[in-house]
Amino acid sequence: MRRPRVSWMTQADGRILETLADSDLILSPRILAVNTDYSRHYVSRRLGKLHDAELVEKVDDGLYQITRKGQDYLTGDLEADELQIEEE
């Protein structure tokens, strides 16, 4: 499936979502950073954006899992306009 192109998303966002989906686990930014080759700080910032777009949810302090919407993004079942967030 083809994923929608969204202006605010980065390549890291896809890798983060894929890692969460593939593992089917609740993960911390640190663990995601180790598994995606991005810094923990950068992963934390991207998780904030993904959370704003409801693609991931925070299940506890510093722990995240992918949402149904995040799964739908990965399979190409969302339109780009469903993923708009307030950009800074």
DSSP track, the chain: -PPPP-TT--HHHHHHHHHHHHHTS-B-HHHHHHHHTS-HHHHHHHHHHHHHTTSEEEEETTEEEE-HHHHHHHTT-S-GGGG-----
Structure tokens at 29: 């930014």
Tell me the whole-structure pTM to 2 decimals: 0.91
Looking at residues 1-13, what average pLDDT do you find?
85
Q: Write down the pLDDT at residue 79.
A: 81
pLDDT at 37 over 80: yes
Looking at residues 34-53, what average pLDDT do you find?
96
pLDDT at 60 over 60: yes
Structure tokens at 12: 């890291």
Q: Which residue has the higher pLDDT, 2 or 66?
A: 66
Looking at residues 39-45, what average pLDDT do you find?
97
Q: Write down the pLDDT at residue 88.
A: 53
